[in-house]
Amino acid sequence: MINSSDLLLVQRIVEMGSITKAADSLYLTQSAISHQLRELELRAGMQLFERVNKKLLLTHAGRRVMESACNILPQLSRLSDDLHSLKYGHPPALRISTECYTCYHWLPEIITKLRKKSDGADISIVAAATQRPIDFLLNGELDLAIISEVPGQSGINSTPLFTDNLVAVVNKHHPLAKHRSLVTANDFANEHMITYDSRETSNVFAKEFFREVQPKKTTRVQLTEAIVEMINANMGISIFATWVIEPYLKNRDLITLPIKSSFKKRTWRAAWLGKPHPLLPDFTEAVKAQFK
């Protein structure tokens, strides 16, 4: 049977690059680490590391163990922290992420308010979960995901937070800036579309809006600021939620245009797995107040 000590052993050897350095990080002797590794490989019935040019490299079995270590050890650490918090009457840590890179500009203010209200609760943003918040929820690496669609997985609960409205964003000198009617997918047929390099590009709106006509060219960029500056330089056009683009409209040559689509309005939701976090009511209240 594999235990947490085994996972930590493999993780440290990989992270430190050698058994000697791993032994130092665990305050053990090199011989003790080597013995533990041999004993682990005997129990596993296969080799976890192989030496190549004096370097320790993971085998297929070793990579599987390392993958589990990366998933399980953070959860065990979180469990320890949560139990400590509960023991001393503090709410457990709240780990938040969203499926949208652009959501983070308003989260810090809400987190600050929650910390004050809850006497310094441990609240953090898990940026690594941005493109896969549901996966992180299911893996126990996230407590609260902010998503734009009703989750289809069983066991995941959700509640509405706010509704946004999608608009086209163009440079004020772009030909579409003179558009007097709703922008349609046909207006993108000869345009350079600049959008996020994330799962958002395959959401319900994008699938429906571009179902029959695709943009002439599409460039995917991770950062909102980069997309905005490219549009400002008249290098292309994009689609944003009004609350996302609003802070960027000042001091730039940008305008927004309405879109013709029944999917242009999205309802963002807070999603969680199992029992809701104690801070969830305060969080949802703060978000609703922010977007009221």
- What pLDDT, on the 0 to 100 scale, is given for residue 160? 93
**Cα distance between residue 84 and residue 103, in whole Å:** 31
Same structural domain for residues 119 and 67?
A: no
Tokens 């009511």 belong to: 281
Cβ neighbours, 10 Å, residue 130: 22
- What pLDDT, on the 0 to 100 scale, is given for residue 201? 41
Tokens 């011989």 belong to: 31
Same structural domain for residues 266 and 181?
A: yes
Same structural domain for residues 240 and 215?
A: yes
Domain around 17: 4-86
- What pLDDT, on the 0 to 100 scale, is given for residue 237? 96
Over its length of 292 residues, how does the chain's per-residue pLDDT go in tens digits?
888 889 999 988 988 888 988 888 888 899 999 999 999 999 999 999 988 887 888 999 999 998 888 878 877 776 777 676 667 666 677 888 888 766 667 888 888 888 888 777 788 888 888 878 888 888 788 889 998 888 888 789 999 998 888 999 999 999 999 876 789 999 999 999 999 865 444 467 888 889 889 999 999 887 888 999 999 999 999 999 888 898 889 889 999 999 988 888 888 999 998 888 888 898 999 888 888 7
3-state secondary structure 81-100: HHHHHHHCCCCCCEEEEECC
Token pair recorded at residue 284: 């949802």
For residue 168, give the amino acid letter: A
CA-based R_g, the chain, Å? 24
Q: Count of residues for the chain?
A: 292
Residue finishing a domain among 66, 86, 106: 86
- What pLDDT, on the 0 to 100 scale, is given for residue 202? 46
Same structural domain for residues 205 and 237?
A: yes
- What pLDDT, on the 0 to 100 scale, is given for residue 40? 92
Same structural domain for residues 118 and 43?
A: no
For residue 265, give the amino acid letter: K
Q: How far is CA 22 from the centre of its chain?
A: 31
Same structural domain for residues 128 and 146?
A: yes
Same structural domain for residues 113 and 80?
A: no
Cβ neighbours, 10 Å, residue 34: 15
Q: What CATH number does the domain containing 185 carry?
A: 3.40.190.290
Q: What CATH number does the domain containing 37 carry?
A: 1.10.10.10
- What pLDDT, on the 0 to 100 scale, is given for residue 145? 92
Q: Where are the alpha helices (DSSP H) in 165-292?
A: 204-209, 224-232, 242-245, 280-290
Token pair recorded at residue 48: 């976890």
- What pLDDT, on the 0 to 100 scale, is given for residue 84? 67
> Three-state SS for 50?
strand
**Cα distance between residue 175 and residue 198, in whole Å:** 28
Number of folded domains that form the chain? 2
